[in-house]
């Protein structure tokens, strides 16, 4: 299966030095946009990951993926920039992040993954198991190990 077209919208305050997606810049199937100014995006037909949505399934295959890259606290601001009718889906709740998070401002949802983990898992669930997405991710081996233990 060819790579799934993916758009990443990054909050303007997201620190690139800490972003797990930075190593993916330059990949032809991934378009990176920064949410600044009056930026809007027509998300009609795109799969958007959301914690409280139905779980992603093979029935969703063939749709492009839209990943919102920000802290959990800033995520509502990114969501307000979307127009149209996106297809909201979640990832399985039993998958845990390997990223050692410590937020002094807010608590992350239980199913919260690092952006690159979410991207890899979503594309894998849609039939595009491209482990090279994780090549620049320091916690790649720990994430894949945890994913295998969880049956993912």
Mean pLDDT of 25-31: 93
Contacts of residue 148, defined as CB under 8 A and 6 or more positions apart, other chains included, come to none
Instruction: Check residues 63 and 150 and name the one with the higher pLDDT.
Output: 63
Contacts of residue 138, defined as CB under 8 A and 6 or more positions apart, other chains included, come to none
3-state secondary structure of 130: coil
Structure tokens at 62: 């063939």
Record the pTM. 0.88
Mean pLDDT of 133-146: 92
Question: Residue 104 in contact with residue 39, Cβ under 8 Å?
Answer: no
> Distance between CA 93 and CA 91 in Å, rounded?
6
- Within the chain, residue ranges assigned H as helices are 75-79, 115-125, 140-149
Instruction: Check residues 111 and 59 and name the one with the higher pLDDT.
Output: 59
Instruction: Check residues 51 and 90 and name the one with the higher pLDDT.
Output: 90
Mean pLDDT of 41-54: 94
pLDDT for 71: 81
pLDDT for 2: 67
pLDDT digits (tens, 9 = 90+) for 52-107: 899 999 899 999 999 998 887 888 899 999 999 999 999 998 888 887 755 544 45
Number of helices and strands in the chain (H, E): 3, 7
């Amino acid at each position: 299966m060819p790579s799934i077209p993916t758009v990443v919208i990054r909050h303007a305050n997201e620190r690139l030095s800490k972003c797990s997606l930075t190593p993916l810049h330059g990949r032809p199937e991934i378009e990176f946009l920064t949410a600044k100014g009056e930026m809007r995006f027509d998300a009609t037909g795109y799969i958007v990951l959301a914690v409280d949505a139905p779980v992603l399934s093979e029935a969703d295959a063939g749709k492009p993926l839209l990943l919102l890259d920000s802290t959990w606290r800033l995520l509502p601001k990114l969501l307000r920039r979307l127009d149209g009718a996106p297809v909201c889906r979640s990832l399985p709740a039993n998958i845990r992040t390997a990223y050692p998070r410590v937020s002094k401002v807010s608590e992350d949802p239980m199913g919260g993954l690092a952006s690159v983990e979410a991207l890899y898992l979503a594309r894998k669930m849609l039939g595009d198991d491209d482990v090279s997405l994780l090549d620049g991710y320091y916690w790649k081996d720990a994430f894949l190990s945890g994913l295998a233990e969880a049956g993912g």
